[in-house]
Amino acid sequence: MLAFSLMLLTSMSFGDVLRVNNQLVTNPLQKVFASLQEAHDFASVGDTLMVEPSPVIYGRLNLSKRLVLIGTGYFLDENPNVPNNGVSRVGQIDLLASSSGTFLIGLVFSNTSTVHTPMIMNANNIVIMRCHLSRSIILSNSSVINSLTIINNYFAQGGLVIGATNVGFTGVVFNNNIVNGVFDPGLTNSFYQRVFSSIENNIFLSGVVVDASRFRSNIIASNTTNVTVNSNDIQNNLSLANQLSTGTGNQLYAAAQLFEGPENNSTDSQYRLKSDSPYRTAGFGGSEPGIFGGSNPYVLSGIPPVPTIYEFAADSFGSKEGGLTIQLKAKSNL
């Protein structure tokens, strides 16, 4: 995880940083913009858009250049030691082919009466990380999508779907996500390549229907029969019912011995494994299965990998000679 986060920070360091806040008036001289589209249109390739929290949802964005978009995360009122100034809610983002290389981090994709699709993907080499998505990402209007990384996200419904019959994908990594609803991208057209390169360390709270090169260390937390995994590498997964072949480390689990559960936990922290769970080393290579295992463990509340101050205290007054004493607590969030 550290290596991945450092790669992200390195990519951010080459560009400028622009503020997006729809409670303010656009001021290009101060690099402050009231809408995502205004900030995007002003930005140069490689810039970072800091999407600040607001009670008003940011409108639709047509993204046509490589940028880094960073929000504040989600479930901020549920987890301790996270800043809670509000979330960065966005509508629909259309990633055009020229936005290749973009990072989307810590955003809350809302499901409004007019927008039911959080993201339409027509670009390669995209990273979607630590976001809350109301619905599935749609792959559309391109023959083949390459190199899509989807990690550390919370999906309220679905995950990723095919939006057109002539769409395929390669190099798609889907790791360390929480998925509500059936995860079924739609694999009926065999003419196009639609095999995930990696599906690992996810929690599927309903069914899953996928083709994958690797399907490892996942937890299927439902007794649904809607489970079809086509892969030559299905290893060390946990399931609540007899949904996967035994051997190669796959096993049934006893529900009472796995998750900490919702009591005294947040929406996402409830999926931590119990400290005395017999399944803590049931993942591939003796690792922890589920979202908190693997090389990119899930981060509570989708806090972006930039330093945050979660506690601050200061004296009521100071002096030029003595200065001002302050105390703060911060997290790196890498």
**pLDDT for 12 beyond 80:** no
User: 288 near 259, Cβ under 8 Å?
Assistant: no
For residue 160, give the nearest of 114, 113, 112, 126 by alpha carbon. Answer: 126
For the ranges 16-30, 62-76, 313-327, the lowest mean pLDDT is seen at: 313-327
pLDDT recorded at residue 309: 46
For residue 272, give the nearest of 283, 262, 285, 284 by alpha carbon. Answer: 262
**pLDDT for 21 beyond 80:** yes
Our CA angle for 183, 185, 191, nearest 5°, is 150
Dihedral angle sign, alpha carbons of residues 146, 239, 286, 268: positive
User: 204 near 182, Cβ under 8 Å?
Assistant: no
42-75 pLDDT per residue, tens: 999 999 999 999 999 998 999 999 999 999 999 9
The pLDDT mean for the chain works out to 87
For the ranges 96-100, 165-169, 188-192, 310-314, the lowest mean pLDDT is seen at: 310-314
For residue 116, what pLDDT band results from cuts at 50, 70 and 90?
low
Cβ neighbour number for residue 34 with a 10 Å cutoff: 17
User: 30 near 18, Cβ under 8 Å?
Assistant: no
Average pLDDT for residues 183-196, to the nearest whole number?
78
Q: CA distances (Å), 327 to each of 79, 115, 251, 308, 332, in order?
A: 22, 43, 49, 14, 17
**How much of the chain, in percent, has pLDDT values that exceed 90?**
68
pLDDT recorded at residue 14: 57
Q: What pTM, to 2 d.p., does this model score?
A: 0.88
Dihedral angle sign, alpha carbons of residues 277, 279, 285, 291: negative
Name the pairing type of β-strands 17-20 and 48-51: parallel
For residue 288, give the nearest of 275, 307, 305 by alpha carbon. Answer: 275
- CATH fold of 2-308 reads Pectate Lyase C-like (2.160.20)
Domain ranges within the chain, ordered by starting residue: 2-308
pLDDT recorded at residue 330: 47
**pLDDT for 318 beyond 80:** no
pLDDT recorded at residue 79: 95
Higher per-residue confidence, 303 vs 306 = 303
200-230 pLDDT per residue, tens: 999 999 999 999 999 999 999 999 889 999 9
Average pLDDT for residues 103-115, to the nearest whole number?
82
Average pLDDT for residues 145-166, to the nearest whole number?
90
pLDDT recorded at residue 172: 95
For residue 186, what pLDDT band results from cuts at 50, 70 and 90?
confident
Question: What would the two tokens of residue 283 be?
Answer: 């993942």
pLDDT recorded at residue 189: 59
For residue 315, what pLDDT band results from cuts at 50, 70 and 90?
very low
**pLDDT for 333 beyond 80:** no
pLDDT recorded at residue 82: 86
Higher per-residue confidence, 186 vs 29 = 29
The 3-state secondary structure of the chain, one letter per residue: CHHHHHHHHHHHCCCCEEEECCCCCCEHHHCEECCHHHHHHHCCCCCEEEECCCCCCECCEEECCCCEEECCCCCCCCCCCCCCCCCCEECCEEECHHHCCCEEECCEECCCCCCCCCEEECCCCEEEECCEECCCEEECCCCEEEEEEEECCEECCCCEEECCCCCEEEEEEEECCEECCCECCCCCCCCCCECECEEECCEECCCEEEEECCEECCEECCCCCCEEEECCCEECCEECCCCCCCECCEEECCHHHCECCCCCCCCCHHHCECCCCCCCCCCHHHCCCCCCCCCCCCCHHHCCCCCEEEEEEECCCCECCCECCEEEEEECCC
Beta bridge partners of 27: 32
Q: What is the dihedral of CA 47, 48, 54, 60, to 10 degrees?
A: 50
Question: What would the two tokens of residue 243 be?
Answer: 């949904």
User: Residues near 95 by Cβ (< 8 Å), separated by ≥ 6?
Assistant: 63, 102, 119, 120, 121, 122, 123, 126
For residue 328, what pLDDT band results from cuts at 50, 70 and 90?
very low
